[in-house]
Structure formats: C-alpha cells, structure tokens
Amino acid sequence: MSMFCIYERYLRMSKKFNENLVKAIEASSEAAGICRQAMIDANDESCRAMYSAILKDCEKHLDMLKGEVELHKQQKKWDV
C-alpha cells in the first residue's frame, strides 16, 4: 500500500471521527436542553432531581467532547 493510500485512508478516518464528535456534541446539547425544559415542567422534586443529575452528566460530556475537538485542532486533525 502506497504512502498516499495510507494518508488518504487516515484522512477519511479522521474526518469520520470528527463528524462523530460533532454529532455527539449536537446530541448532548439537545439532551441538555430537554433536561432544562423538563426541570421547568416537572411537577415534583424527584423529577427535577433526576433531570438535574442527567443535565450535569450532559454538561460533563459536552466538556469532554469540546476538549477532544480542541485536541484535534491542536494536532491539525480537525477538518469539519
């Protein structure tokens, strides 16, 4: 396999990983928004507590994902 083919394959994989990061950020952002609204709409404290815990997890995941995007940018692997 030529170096060009290896590099081309690497770029396709890199792009796919980046697209997956974007999809995960979008999904986590949407989930966080749903939890925020659900906390407003909840009719009891136990529901609010559950949505609050889920929201914290979503925010943690968003931080992790954004950190990975920054790492890809520093490594010149970000092409989305």
Is 65 within a domain? yes
Output Rg (C-alpha) for the chain, integer angstroms.
18
Whether residue 66 is contained in a domain is answered as yes
Q: Domain for residue 70, yes or no?
A: yes
**Could you give the number of structural domains in the chain?**
1
What residues make up the domain containing 71?
21-80
| Domain annotation covers residue 10 | no
Q: In this predicted model, what pLDDT tens digit does every residue of 56-74 receive, in sequence order? A: 999 999 999 999 999 999 9
The residue behind tokens 């950020």 is: 25
Handedness of CA 69, 72, 73, 77 (dihedral sign): negative
Query: What separation, in Å, do the N-terminal and C-terminal C-alpha atoms of the chain show?
Result: 27
**16 found inside a domain:** no
pLDDT 10s digits, 11-40: 555 688 899 999 999 999 999 999 999 999
Q: Structure pTM? A: 0.79
Residue 63 is assigned to a structural domain of this protein:
yes
